[in-house]
Amino acid sequence: MIKTILDIEALKLNTKEPFLWASGYYMPVYNDNRIFLKEKRYRSMIAEAFISIMEENHIEADVIAGTSTAGIPHATTLADKLDLPLTYVRSKPKAHGLKNRIEGLPADKGYEGKKVVLIEDLVSTGGSSIEAVKAIREADGDIEYCLSIFNYGLDKGSENFASLDPVCRTIPIFTYDELIQEAERIGYIEEKDLESLREWRKAPFEWGEKNGFHK
């Protein structure tokens, strides 16, 4: 699966010509999970991977929730395959109408204690995902798991998820470490780039300056 993801350029690795992130930092990895949307087989591949995670970890769900906006299409495909209700969580409540934060729920009822599985496309520090978890819990949702396509494996993200009470476990289809290992195995990157890519994960915001790519 990782080879397919690299082939369609949903993920890119480049230590020589790194990518400028919105934060202004240069990073040797770039993620564009929206590439998966263009073909049914890619959307199905992601949904089936989520189903495998749920089966392997005995995760039960009454409702699937997606983060807005990137998690919505993958949550939709998964909910269709599992024949479950779908909701999605906005980054903040609407400023008009019913001012909903979560769409797909009756405003006066919430989740009513049902088990909710949250679908995210990408986890880095976990900030937006954690806010979605909190919103689901405020709407009386029983949420213990956030599933993502990709997780950078940053210490800050793990710490943030662990700080939730009760803890919400995040499980990705694949991690950054798995990505670079497979990329090296199939010849997508050279062995000499591995150490630099490993250093990035330990200190992502210092990597650019250290390697001559100034903010």
pLDDT of 95 reads 46
Architecture of domain 2-210: 3-Layer(aba) Sandwich (3.40)
Measured N-to-C along each axis, helices 72-82 and 40-56 cross at an angle, to the nearest 10 degrees, of 70
pLDDT of 97 reads 44
Q: Residue 162 and residue 160: Cα distance in Å, rounded?
A: 5
Q: Residue 214 and residue 201: Cα distance in Å, rounded?
A: 18
C-alpha dist (Å) from residue 74 to 43, 46, 112, 186: 7, 7, 24, 27
What is the H or E stretch that residue 5 is in?
helix 2-7
- For 98-143, how does the pLDDT look when each residue is reduced to its tens digit (9 = 90+)? 457 899 988 778 999 999 999 999 998 888 899 999 999 999 999 9
